[in-house]
Amino acid sequence: MNHRTILQEISILALPGLHIGHAQNTTAKTGVTVLLFDHGARVGIDISGGGPASRETPLANPETADNPVNAIVLSGGSAYGLSASEGVMRYLEEHGIGYPTGFANVPLVLQSCIYDLGIGDANIRPDAQMGYDACANAQIPCTDPSLLQGNVGAGIGATVGKICGMERADKSGIGIHAVSIGPLKIAAIVVLNALGDIFNPETGQKIAGLHNEDRSDYVDTRDILYQMFTPTDLFTGEEKSGNPVPLPSTNTTIGAIITNGNFSKAELCKLASMTRCAYARCINPVGTMADGDSIYAASIGKIDADINMVGTLAAEVMEKAIQKAVSI
């Protein structure tokens, strides 16, 4: 039996207690995507990129208190976009959501950002109002889950294959994929904003990324990378003089796995690290110092499941989400 015959594709909104909302500035090409958890979530994280822009990630550390996380925020704006969480916290506080301290409910909000300042208007970034609006939009019933992905929210300024600049890159966005296997549900959401090229791992075919100068064909980003950073000229054999041009730090792929499987924070960190295999299969190069690649893993259910099976499946689901992010 082919394993795909026992997997059923579902809507990401079939996961109980999960709400997704977007807000964006279509002119500036930047935005916010919020994942809200009605009953909180236990969260782990894997960070493989060299330059993450993030907020409150220690809450996903197994050594910290096991308090339920209320929201995960994905945004553009690089580190400037971290302001969006202020609006998310305000929205949650207004609705009585957060960790009770005796004096106030303090919402627990995690956030990661992509660098999208190179497209649209770099002077306009996600702010508190955009974060608040994304939360409000998350409460509006969604009749067509396909509208949750593509050029919306945090994905509106996402691009891939940028080692030679934006003029040779491809547009990408948000990709979402979800499946069930028996009572277990697992979903992936990704904001694909990579330095590298994007591949279909089943065929090895490049499906997005760096183009040649007239955009008539694709070019392999690895070839450019190797030429840039070898100590000698690959054509003449002469030693290069001066310092190499640094990689453009205008990237970062951020995503989340959400499951109704019951896992501890330590197990969720492992689950997130297993999901990273999808990044390696679909994005090349990946996890460079010019990326801030991060993956959250959130548990919002009580289904007992084997972490090895779920981690393997999570990587496969994330693969599909990555491919959908460039099929827009």
Query: Whole-model pTM?
Result: 0.92
pLDDT surpassing 80 at residue 1: no
Please count the structural domains in the chain: 1
* Angle, helices 265-282/307-325, rounded to nearest 10 degrees: 40
**Residue 3: inside a domain:** no
**Residue 140: inside a domain:** yes
Residue 210's CATH number: 3.60.70.12
**Residue 168: inside a domain:** yes
CA distance 168 to 220: 12
**Residue 35: inside a domain:** yes
**Residue 1: inside a domain:** no
**Residue 2: inside a domain:** no
CA-to-CA dists, residue 107 to 11, 18, 64, 81, angstroms: 27, 16, 16, 18
**Which tokens sit at 208?**
């997005």
DSSP bridge pairs for 192: none
- Tell me which residue range forms the domain holding 142: 8-326
Dihedral (Cα; 248, 256, 30, 94), 10-degree rounding: -140
CA distance 313 to 191: 19
- Counting Cβ atoms within 10 Å, is residue 164 exposed (0-12), middle (13-18) or buried (19+)? middle
Res 50: pLDDT: 77
Per-residue pLDDT, averaged over 156-184, amounts to 95
CB contact burial 17-38 (16+ within 10 A = b; e otherwise): ebbbbbbbbeebbbbbbbbbbe
Confidence at 120, pLDDT banded by 50, 70, 90: confident
Span 271-319, pLDDT tens digits: 999 999 999 999 999 988 877 789 999 999 999 999 999 999 999 999 9
Count other Cβ atoms within 10 Å, centred on residue 123. Answer: 8
